[in-house]
Structure 1
Protein backbone atom coordinates (compact mmCIF):
# COMPACT_ATOMS: atom_id res chain seq x y z
CA UNK A 1 0.00 0.00 0.00
CA UNK A 2 1.45 3.34 -1.04
CA UNK A 3 2.15 5.65 1.88
CA UNK A 4 0.32 8.96 1.82
CA UNK A 5 2.25 12.23 2.14
CA UNK A 6 3.11 12.71 5.81
CA UNK A 7 1.22 15.31 7.81
CA UNK A 8 2.36 16.99 11.02
CA UNK A 9 -0.35 15.71 13.31
CA UNK A 10 -3.79 14.17 13.35
CA UNK A 11 -6.34 16.93 14.09
CA UNK A 12 -7.60 16.86 17.66
CA UNK A 13 -11.19 17.01 16.46
CA UNK A 14 -10.68 13.73 14.58
CA UNK A 15 -9.51 12.03 17.77
CA UNK A 16 -12.55 13.50 19.50
CA UNK A 17 -14.82 12.16 16.75
CA UNK A 18 -13.31 8.68 17.03
CA UNK A 19 -13.85 8.70 20.80
CA UNK A 20 -17.34 10.20 20.55
CA UNK A 21 -19.18 6.93 19.83
CA UNK A 22 -18.12 4.97 22.92
CA UNK A 23 -18.46 8.07 25.11
CA UNK A 24 -21.95 8.87 23.83
CA UNK A 25 -23.03 5.30 24.42
CA UNK A 26 -21.69 5.46 27.98
CA UNK A 27 -23.46 8.77 28.61
CA UNK A 28 -26.74 7.29 27.37
CA UNK A 29 -26.40 4.28 29.69
CA UNK A 30 -25.45 6.43 32.68
CA UNK A 31 -28.23 8.93 31.93
CA UNK A 32 -30.82 6.17 31.65
CA UNK A 33 -29.63 4.65 34.93
CA UNK A 34 -29.87 7.99 36.72
CA UNK A 35 -33.34 8.56 35.27
CA UNK A 36 -34.68 5.20 36.43
CA UNK A 37 -33.13 5.70 39.85
CA UNK A 38 -34.82 9.10 40.12
CA UNK A 39 -38.11 7.43 39.16
CA UNK A 40 -37.79 5.13 42.16
CA UNK A 41 -37.06 1.96 40.23
CA UNK A 42 -35.59 -0.72 42.48
CA UNK A 43 -31.78 -0.90 42.10
CA UNK A 44 -31.97 -4.54 41.11
CA UNK A 45 -34.26 -3.71 38.18
CA UNK A 46 -32.38 -0.69 36.81
CA UNK A 47 -29.93 -2.81 34.82
CA UNK A 48 -32.78 -4.75 33.23
CA UNK A 49 -34.58 -1.56 32.22
CA UNK A 50 -31.41 0.01 30.83
CA UNK A 51 -30.71 -3.15 28.80
CA UNK A 52 -34.13 -2.72 27.25
CA UNK A 53 -33.01 0.63 25.86
CA UNK A 54 -29.91 -0.62 24.05
CA UNK A 55 -31.56 -0.36 20.63
CA UNK A 56 -32.64 3.23 21.33
CA UNK A 57 -29.08 3.93 22.45
CA UNK A 58 -27.73 2.56 19.17
CA UNK A 59 -30.00 4.79 17.10
CA UNK A 60 -29.22 7.85 19.25
CA UNK A 61 -25.45 7.35 19.09
CA UNK A 62 -25.44 6.75 15.33
CA UNK A 63 -27.57 9.82 14.65
CA UNK A 64 -25.26 11.91 16.84
CA UNK A 65 -22.19 10.56 15.05
CA UNK A 66 -23.79 11.39 11.72
CA UNK A 67 -24.36 14.97 12.86
CA UNK A 68 -20.79 15.23 14.11
CA UNK A 69 -19.55 13.99 10.74
CA UNK A 70 -21.20 17.06 9.21
CA UNK A 71 -18.45 19.09 10.90
CA UNK A 72 -15.94 17.23 8.72
CA UNK A 73 -17.67 18.04 5.46
CA UNK A 74 -14.51 18.26 3.35
CA UNK A 75 -13.26 14.85 4.47
CA UNK A 76 -16.69 13.27 4.01
CA UNK A 77 -16.96 14.65 0.49
CA UNK A 78 -13.46 13.37 -0.29
CA UNK A 79 -14.44 9.92 0.96
CA UNK A 80 -17.44 9.83 -1.35
CA UNK A 81 -16.00 11.41 -4.49
CA UNK A 82 -13.24 10.97 -7.03
CA UNK A 83 -11.40 7.66 -6.97
CA UNK A 84 -13.74 6.26 -4.34
CA UNK A 85 -16.53 6.10 -6.92
CA UNK A 86 -14.52 5.18 -10.03
CA UNK A 87 -15.16 1.45 -9.62
CA UNK A 88 -18.13 1.65 -7.29
CA UNK A 89 -19.99 -1.23 -8.95
CA UNK A 90 -17.21 -3.79 -8.73
CA UNK A 91 -16.24 -2.57 -5.24
CA UNK A 92 -19.83 -3.02 -4.08
CA UNK A 93 -19.97 -6.57 -5.43
CA UNK A 94 -16.66 -7.53 -3.82
CA UNK A 95 -17.67 -5.95 -0.54
CA UNK A 96 -21.09 -7.60 -0.50
CA UNK A 97 -19.57 -11.03 -1.10
CA UNK A 98 -17.11 -10.53 1.76
CA UNK A 99 -19.94 -9.33 4.00
CA UNK A 100 -22.11 -12.37 3.28
CA UNK A 101 -19.21 -14.75 3.96
CA UNK A 102 -18.48 -12.94 7.22
CA UNK A 103 -22.16 -13.10 8.19
CA UNK A 104 -22.27 -16.85 7.61
CA UNK A 105 -19.07 -17.28 9.61
CA UNK A 106 -20.50 -15.18 12.41
CA UNK A 107 -23.80 -17.05 12.64
CA UNK A 108 -22.31 -20.55 12.45
CA UNK A 109 -18.90 -20.22 14.13
CA UNK A 110 -18.05 -16.84 15.60
CA UNK A 111 -21.26 -16.34 17.60
CA UNK A 112 -20.97 -19.80 19.22
CA UNK A 113 -17.31 -19.05 19.97
CA UNK A 114 -18.37 -15.77 21.52
CA UNK A 115 -20.82 -17.60 23.76
CA UNK A 116 -18.16 -20.09 24.86
CA UNK A 117 -15.72 -17.30 25.74
CA UNK A 118 -18.37 -15.39 27.65
CA UNK A 119 -19.40 -18.48 29.60
CA UNK A 120 -16.02 -20.11 30.24
CA UNK A 121 -13.67 -17.12 30.47
CA UNK A 122 -16.11 -14.49 31.70
CA UNK A 123 -17.58 -11.19 30.57
CA UNK A 124 -19.71 -8.37 31.90
CA UNK A 125 -22.68 -9.41 29.73
CA UNK A 126 -24.50 -12.77 29.91
CA UNK A 127 -23.52 -15.40 27.32
CA UNK A 128 -25.62 -15.32 24.16
CA UNK A 129 -27.37 -12.10 25.12
CA UNK A 130 -26.01 -9.68 22.49
CA UNK A 131 -28.29 -10.38 19.51
CA UNK A 132 -31.50 -10.96 21.51
CA UNK A 133 -30.90 -7.71 23.42
CA UNK A 134 -30.17 -5.43 20.47
CA UNK A 135 -32.93 -6.97 18.35
CA UNK A 136 -35.60 -6.77 21.06
CA UNK A 137 -37.23 -3.93 19.09
CA UNK A 138 -36.92 -5.26 15.57
CA UNK A 139 -37.98 -2.07 13.78
CA UNK A 140 -35.45 0.12 15.56
CA UNK A 141 -32.87 -2.63 15.15
CA UNK A 142 -33.35 -2.45 11.37
CA UNK A 143 -32.92 1.34 11.41
CA UNK A 144 -29.81 1.16 13.58
CA UNK A 145 -28.12 -1.92 12.17
CA UNK A 146 -29.03 -1.86 8.48
CA UNK A 147 -29.80 1.78 7.65
CA UNK A 148 -27.52 3.86 9.90
CA UNK A 149 -24.59 1.73 11.04
CA UNK A 150 -23.02 0.84 7.67
CA UNK A 151 -23.22 4.38 6.31
CA UNK A 152 -22.19 6.29 9.44
CA UNK A 153 -19.52 3.89 10.68
CA UNK A 154 -17.86 3.27 7.32
CA UNK A 155 -17.83 6.97 6.49
CA UNK A 156 -16.23 7.71 9.88
CA UNK A 157 -13.77 4.88 10.46
CA UNK A 158 -12.75 3.96 6.94
CA UNK A 159 -13.68 6.94 4.74
CA UNK A 160 -12.60 9.83 6.97
CA UNK A 161 -10.30 8.52 9.69
CA UNK A 162 -8.24 5.84 7.95
CA UNK A 163 -6.63 8.04 5.25
CA UNK A 164 -5.81 10.81 7.75
CA UNK A 165 -4.29 8.36 10.23
CA UNK A 166 -2.38 6.58 7.44
CA UNK A 167 -0.80 9.87 6.38
CA UNK A 168 0.56 10.28 9.91
CA UNK A 169 1.28 6.73 11.08
CA UNK A 170 1.33 4.55 7.96
CA UNK A 171 -1.37 2.13 6.83
CA UNK A 172 -0.68 -0.71 9.27
CA UNK A 173 -0.88 1.48 12.37
CA UNK A 174 -3.85 3.38 10.95
CA UNK A 175 -5.76 0.13 10.45
CA UNK A 176 -4.93 -0.91 14.03
CA UNK A 177 -6.13 2.43 15.43
CA UNK A 178 -9.42 2.36 13.52
CA UNK A 179 -10.00 -1.26 14.60
CA UNK A 180 -9.43 -0.20 18.21
CA UNK A 181 -11.97 2.61 18.06
CA UNK A 182 -14.42 0.58 15.98
CA UNK A 183 -14.30 -2.19 18.56
CA UNK A 184 -14.67 0.30 21.41
CA UNK A 185 -17.89 1.58 19.83
CA UNK A 186 -19.37 -1.87 20.52
CA UNK A 187 -18.24 -2.09 24.15
CA UNK A 188 -21.80 -2.58 25.43
CA UNK A 189 -21.77 -6.06 23.87
CA UNK A 190 -19.02 -7.16 26.24
CA UNK A 191 -15.27 -7.60 26.10
CA UNK A 192 -15.26 -10.52 23.68
CA UNK A 193 -17.85 -8.96 21.38
CA UNK A 194 -15.80 -5.77 21.33
CA UNK A 195 -12.63 -7.69 20.39
CA UNK A 196 -14.46 -9.79 17.80
CA UNK A 197 -16.03 -6.73 16.17
CA UNK A 198 -12.85 -4.66 16.24
CA UNK A 199 -10.40 -7.30 15.05
CA UNK A 200 -12.44 -9.43 12.64
CA UNK A 201 -15.08 -7.08 11.19
CA UNK A 202 -13.01 -3.92 11.61
CA UNK A 203 -9.93 -5.59 10.15
CA UNK A 204 -11.81 -6.91 7.12
CA UNK A 205 -13.53 -3.59 6.44
CA UNK A 206 -10.23 -1.72 6.71
CA UNK A 207 -8.57 -4.29 4.46
CA UNK A 208 -11.26 -3.79 1.84
CA UNK A 209 -10.72 -0.04 1.96
CA UNK A 210 -6.95 -0.43 1.57
CA UNK A 211 -7.39 -2.89 -1.30
CA UNK A 212 -10.08 -1.09 -3.27
CA UNK A 213 -9.11 2.43 -2.13
CA UNK A 214 -12.81 3.12 -1.82
CA UNK A 215 -15.30 3.38 1.03
CA UNK A 216 -17.87 1.65 -1.18
CA UNK A 217 -16.36 -1.81 -0.62
CA UNK A 218 -16.40 -1.74 3.21
CA UNK A 219 -19.84 -0.11 3.16
CA UNK A 220 -21.21 -2.93 0.99
CA UNK A 221 -19.57 -5.54 3.24
CA UNK A 222 -20.92 -3.90 6.39
CA UNK A 223 -24.39 -3.59 4.87
CA UNK A 224 -24.43 -7.22 3.73
CA UNK A 225 -23.21 -8.44 7.13
CA UNK A 226 -25.81 -6.46 9.04
CA UNK A 227 -28.62 -7.31 6.62
CA UNK A 228 -27.96 -11.04 7.03
CA UNK A 229 -27.71 -10.56 10.80
CA UNK A 230 -31.07 -8.75 10.76
CA UNK A 231 -32.65 -11.57 8.74
CA UNK A 232 -31.22 -14.07 11.22
CA UNK A 233 -32.63 -12.11 14.16
CA UNK A 234 -36.00 -11.93 12.43
CA UNK A 235 -35.93 -15.67 11.83
CA UNK A 236 -35.16 -16.33 15.50
CA UNK A 237 -38.21 -14.23 16.40
CA UNK A 238 -40.37 -16.28 14.05
CA UNK A 239 -40.77 -13.50 11.49
CA UNK A 240 -39.32 -15.48 8.59
Structure 2
Protein backbone atom coordinates (compact mmCIF):
# COMPACT_ATOMS: atom_id res chain seq x y z
CA UNK A 1 0.00 0.00 0.00
CA UNK A 2 1.44 3.37 -0.97
CA UNK A 3 1.84 6.19 1.56
CA UNK A 4 -1.18 8.12 0.30
CA UNK A 5 -3.49 5.12 0.53
CA UNK A 6 -2.07 4.23 3.93
CA UNK A 7 -2.78 7.75 5.16
CA UNK A 8 -6.36 7.57 3.94
CA UNK A 9 -6.83 4.21 5.67
CA UNK A 10 -5.66 5.49 9.06
CA UNK A 11 -7.61 8.72 8.72
CA UNK A 12 -10.81 6.84 7.87
CA UNK A 13 -10.38 4.63 10.93
CA UNK A 14 -9.64 7.64 13.14
CA UNK A 15 -12.29 9.92 11.68
CA UNK A 16 -15.19 8.75 13.87
CA UNK A 17 -13.72 9.45 17.34
CA UNK A 18 -12.21 12.72 16.13
CA UNK A 19 -15.42 13.94 14.50
CA UNK A 20 -17.42 12.89 17.56
CA UNK A 21 -15.25 15.27 19.59
CA UNK A 22 -15.80 18.04 17.03
CA UNK A 23 -19.57 17.57 17.25
CA UNK A 24 -19.50 17.73 21.06
CA UNK A 25 -17.49 20.96 20.91
CA UNK A 26 -19.88 22.45 18.35
CA UNK A 27 -22.87 21.45 20.48
CA UNK A 28 -21.26 23.01 23.55
CA UNK A 29 -20.64 26.27 21.67
CA UNK A 30 -24.19 26.29 20.31
CA UNK A 31 -25.87 25.70 23.66
CA UNK A 32 -23.50 28.14 25.29
CA UNK A 33 -24.72 30.75 22.82
CA UNK A 34 -28.45 30.02 23.13
CA UNK A 35 -28.32 29.90 26.95
CA UNK A 36 -26.25 33.07 27.22
CA UNK A 37 -27.43 35.08 30.21
CA UNK A 38 -29.57 32.20 31.49
CA UNK A 39 -28.31 29.07 33.19
CA UNK A 40 -24.78 28.07 32.09
CA UNK A 41 -24.94 25.04 34.38
CA UNK A 42 -27.55 23.55 32.04
CA UNK A 43 -25.12 23.39 29.10
CA UNK A 44 -23.60 19.93 29.88
CA UNK A 45 -27.06 18.37 30.16
CA UNK A 46 -28.23 20.01 26.93
CA UNK A 47 -25.13 18.68 25.15
CA UNK A 48 -25.78 15.17 26.55
CA UNK A 49 -29.45 15.32 25.52
CA UNK A 50 -28.39 16.20 21.97
CA UNK A 51 -26.33 12.99 21.68
CA UNK A 52 -28.81 11.20 19.35
CA UNK A 53 -28.76 14.16 16.94
CA UNK A 54 -24.96 14.19 17.07
CA UNK A 55 -24.97 10.48 16.19
CA UNK A 56 -27.09 11.09 13.09
CA UNK A 57 -24.74 13.86 11.96
CA UNK A 58 -21.70 11.68 12.69
CA UNK A 59 -22.97 8.71 10.68
CA UNK A 60 -23.79 10.88 7.66
CA UNK A 61 -20.40 12.61 7.91
CA UNK A 62 -18.59 9.25 8.08
CA UNK A 63 -20.52 7.89 5.10
CA UNK A 64 -19.50 10.89 3.01
CA UNK A 65 -15.85 10.45 4.04
CA UNK A 66 -15.94 6.76 3.14
CA UNK A 67 -17.57 7.39 -0.24
CA UNK A 68 -14.99 10.07 -1.06
CA UNK A 69 -12.13 7.77 -0.02
CA UNK A 70 -13.47 4.88 -2.07
CA UNK A 71 -13.88 7.14 -5.11
CA UNK A 72 -10.27 8.31 -4.83
CA UNK A 73 -9.02 4.73 -4.62
CA UNK A 74 -11.33 3.44 -7.35
CA UNK A 75 -13.05 1.01 -5.00
CA UNK A 76 -16.59 -0.30 -5.36
CA UNK A 77 -18.85 -1.56 -2.57
CA UNK A 78 -18.12 -5.10 -3.75
CA UNK A 79 -14.40 -4.45 -3.33
CA UNK A 80 -14.85 -3.82 0.41
CA UNK A 81 -16.97 -6.92 1.00
CA UNK A 82 -20.53 -6.11 -0.03
CA UNK A 83 -20.86 -9.24 -2.15
CA UNK A 84 -21.62 -12.91 -1.73
CA UNK A 85 -18.96 -15.52 -2.36
CA UNK A 86 -19.58 -18.47 -4.67
CA UNK A 87 -22.14 -20.79 -3.11
CA UNK A 88 -23.31 -18.31 -0.50
CA UNK A 89 -26.98 -17.41 -0.16
CA UNK A 90 -28.16 -14.02 1.08
CA UNK A 91 -30.71 -15.37 3.58
CA UNK A 92 -28.13 -17.71 5.08
CA UNK A 93 -25.52 -14.98 5.52
CA UNK A 94 -28.13 -12.76 7.18
CA UNK A 95 -29.11 -15.59 9.51
CA UNK A 96 -25.48 -16.45 10.30
CA UNK A 97 -24.94 -12.84 11.32
CA UNK A 98 -28.29 -12.12 13.00
CA UNK A 99 -28.10 -15.00 15.49
CA UNK A 100 -24.88 -13.87 17.21
CA UNK A 101 -26.14 -10.28 17.02
CA UNK A 102 -29.22 -11.24 19.05
CA UNK A 103 -27.08 -13.21 21.52
CA UNK A 104 -24.73 -10.25 22.00
CA UNK A 105 -27.68 -7.90 22.57
CA UNK A 106 -29.22 -10.16 25.22
CA UNK A 107 -25.83 -10.68 26.86
CA UNK A 108 -25.17 -6.94 26.87
CA UNK A 109 -28.45 -5.86 28.43
CA UNK A 110 -28.98 -8.65 30.94
CA UNK A 111 -25.44 -9.62 31.93
CA UNK A 112 -22.83 -7.10 30.88
CA UNK A 113 -24.61 -3.80 31.61
CA UNK A 114 -24.64 -4.37 35.41
CA UNK A 115 -20.95 -5.30 35.23
CA UNK A 116 -20.26 -2.17 33.16
CA UNK A 117 -22.00 0.06 35.71
CA UNK A 118 -20.10 -1.59 38.57
CA UNK A 119 -16.78 -0.95 36.84
CA UNK A 120 -17.78 2.64 36.11
CA UNK A 121 -18.59 3.13 39.78
CA UNK A 122 -15.02 2.14 40.58
CA UNK A 123 -13.50 4.41 37.92
CA UNK A 124 -14.34 5.97 34.60
CA UNK A 125 -14.36 9.40 32.99
CA UNK A 126 -18.16 9.34 32.52
CA UNK A 127 -20.88 8.94 35.17
CA UNK A 128 -21.90 5.34 35.81
CA UNK A 129 -24.94 4.27 33.80
CA UNK A 130 -24.94 7.40 31.65
CA UNK A 131 -24.67 5.66 28.28
CA UNK A 132 -28.25 4.46 27.85
CA UNK A 133 -29.69 7.61 29.41
CA UNK A 134 -27.93 9.81 26.86
CA UNK A 135 -28.81 7.55 23.94
CA UNK A 136 -32.47 7.46 24.85
CA UNK A 137 -32.86 11.22 25.26
CA UNK A 138 -34.47 11.55 21.79
CA UNK A 139 -35.70 8.23 20.50
CA UNK A 140 -36.48 9.03 16.86
CA UNK A 141 -33.04 10.42 15.93
CA UNK A 142 -31.42 7.71 18.03
CA UNK A 143 -33.32 5.01 16.10
CA UNK A 144 -32.31 6.62 12.80
CA UNK A 145 -28.66 6.69 13.82
CA UNK A 146 -28.56 3.32 15.55
CA UNK A 147 -30.71 1.19 13.24
CA UNK A 148 -30.86 2.86 9.83
CA UNK A 149 -27.33 4.28 9.61
CA UNK A 150 -24.80 2.78 12.04
CA UNK A 151 -24.86 -0.90 10.95
CA UNK A 152 -24.28 -0.02 7.30
CA UNK A 153 -21.85 2.87 7.82
CA UNK A 154 -19.76 1.31 10.58
CA UNK A 155 -19.54 -2.12 8.97
CA UNK A 156 -18.55 -0.53 5.67
CA UNK A 157 -15.75 1.37 7.42
CA UNK A 158 -14.44 -1.04 10.05
CA UNK A 159 -15.13 -4.50 8.60
CA UNK A 160 -15.27 -3.37 4.98
CA UNK A 161 -12.81 -0.74 3.85
CA UNK A 162 -10.73 -0.74 7.05
CA UNK A 163 -10.27 -4.46 7.66
CA UNK A 164 -9.76 -5.12 3.94
CA UNK A 165 -6.93 -2.61 3.89
CA UNK A 166 -5.44 -3.88 7.16
CA UNK A 167 -5.46 -7.50 5.96
CA UNK A 168 -3.39 -6.40 2.99
CA UNK A 169 -0.68 -5.05 5.29
CA UNK A 170 -0.79 -7.10 8.50
CA UNK A 171 -1.32 -10.68 9.59
CA UNK A 172 -4.95 -11.65 10.18
CA UNK A 173 -4.72 -11.55 14.01
CA UNK A 174 -2.99 -8.16 13.92
CA UNK A 175 -5.47 -6.75 11.40
CA UNK A 176 -8.40 -7.90 13.53
CA UNK A 177 -6.83 -6.48 16.70
CA UNK A 178 -6.27 -3.09 15.06
CA UNK A 179 -9.81 -2.97 13.69
CA UNK A 180 -11.18 -3.92 17.12
CA UNK A 181 -9.16 -1.13 18.73
CA UNK A 182 -10.45 1.51 16.34
CA UNK A 183 -14.02 0.23 16.59
CA UNK A 184 -13.73 0.44 20.36
CA UNK A 185 -12.49 4.03 20.47
CA UNK A 186 -15.29 5.01 18.10
CA UNK A 187 -17.42 4.68 21.27
CA UNK A 188 -15.14 6.76 23.51
CA UNK A 189 -17.98 9.05 24.61
CA UNK A 190 -19.42 6.09 26.55
CA UNK A 191 -16.36 5.88 28.78
CA UNK A 192 -13.28 3.68 29.12
CA UNK A 193 -15.10 0.49 30.09
CA UNK A 194 -17.63 0.98 27.33
CA UNK A 195 -14.77 1.17 24.82
CA UNK A 196 -13.42 -2.14 26.15
CA UNK A 197 -16.86 -3.74 26.17
CA UNK A 198 -17.77 -2.71 22.62
CA UNK A 199 -14.36 -3.70 21.26
CA UNK A 200 -14.30 -7.15 22.83
CA UNK A 201 -17.96 -8.15 22.81
CA UNK A 202 -18.97 -6.71 19.43
CA UNK A 203 -15.76 -5.84 17.56
CA UNK A 204 -14.18 -9.29 17.75
CA UNK A 205 -17.27 -11.29 16.68
CA UNK A 206 -18.01 -8.85 13.85
CA UNK A 207 -14.43 -9.10 12.59
CA UNK A 208 -14.54 -12.90 12.90
CA UNK A 209 -17.68 -12.99 10.76
CA UNK A 210 -15.98 -10.79 8.17
CA UNK A 211 -12.88 -12.95 7.77
CA UNK A 212 -14.67 -16.31 7.95
CA UNK A 213 -17.64 -15.46 5.73
CA UNK A 214 -15.48 -13.23 3.46
CA UNK A 215 -18.25 -10.64 3.16
CA UNK A 216 -19.61 -7.68 5.10
CA UNK A 217 -23.20 -8.91 4.90
CA UNK A 218 -22.91 -11.29 7.86
CA UNK A 219 -21.36 -8.75 10.27
CA UNK A 220 -23.84 -6.16 9.01
CA UNK A 221 -26.72 -8.49 9.94
CA UNK A 222 -25.15 -9.05 13.38
CA UNK A 223 -24.72 -5.32 13.91
CA UNK A 224 -28.26 -4.59 12.74
CA UNK A 225 -29.76 -7.25 15.02
CA UNK A 226 -27.77 -5.94 17.98
CA UNK A 227 -28.70 -2.31 17.41
CA UNK A 228 -32.35 -3.08 16.67
CA UNK A 229 -32.73 -4.93 19.96
CA UNK A 230 -30.77 -2.19 21.72
CA UNK A 231 -33.24 0.39 20.42
CA UNK A 232 -36.22 -1.74 21.43
CA UNK A 233 -34.82 -2.29 24.92
CA UNK A 234 -34.16 1.42 25.37
CA UNK A 235 -37.70 2.28 24.26
CA UNK A 236 -39.15 -0.28 26.67
CA UNK A 237 -36.90 0.96 29.46
CA UNK A 238 -37.89 4.57 28.97
CA UNK A 239 -41.55 3.69 28.76
CA UNK A 240 -41.53 1.73 31.98
Determine if contact 2:136/2:238 at 8 Å carries over to the other structure.
Answer: no
Question: What are the equivalent positions in structure 2 for 1:145-164 lying under 5 Å apart?
Answer: 145-164=146-165
Taking structure 2 as the reference length, what is the TM-score of the superposition?
0.91
Offset, 1:212: 0.9
Offset, 1:82: 5.3
Taking structure 1 as the reference length, what is the TM-score of the superposition?
0.91
Aligned length: 232
Question: What are the equivalent positions in structure 2 for 1:1-240 lying under 5 Å apart?
Answer: 7=1, 11-39=6-34, 40=36, 42-71=39-68, 72-73=70-71, 74-78=75-79, 79-81=81-83, 83=85, 86-119=88-121, 121-238=122-239
Determine if contact 2:98/2:224 at 8 Å carries over to the other structure.
Answer: yes
SS in 2 for 1:168: coil
Aligned structure 1 segments of 4 or more residues deviating by more than 4 angstroms: 7-10
Offset, 1:130: 0.7
Determine if contact 1:96/1:221 at 8 Å carries over to the other structure.
Answer: yes
Determine if contact 1:85/1:216 at 8 Å carries over to the other structure.
Answer: no
Distance 1:49 1:237 in 2: 18
Offset, 1:122: 1.4
Distance 1:173 1:98 in 2: 23
Offset, 1:116: 0.5
For residues 13-52 of structure 1, give each alpha carbon's deviation from its aligned partner in whole angstroms, at most 9, with x where no partner exists. 1111111111111001011112222342544222111101
Q: Cα RMSD over matched residues?
A: 1.8
Runs of 5+ consecutive residues of structure 1 not aligned to the other structure: 1-6
Determine if contact 1:183/1:202 at 8 Å carries over to the other structure.
Answer: yes
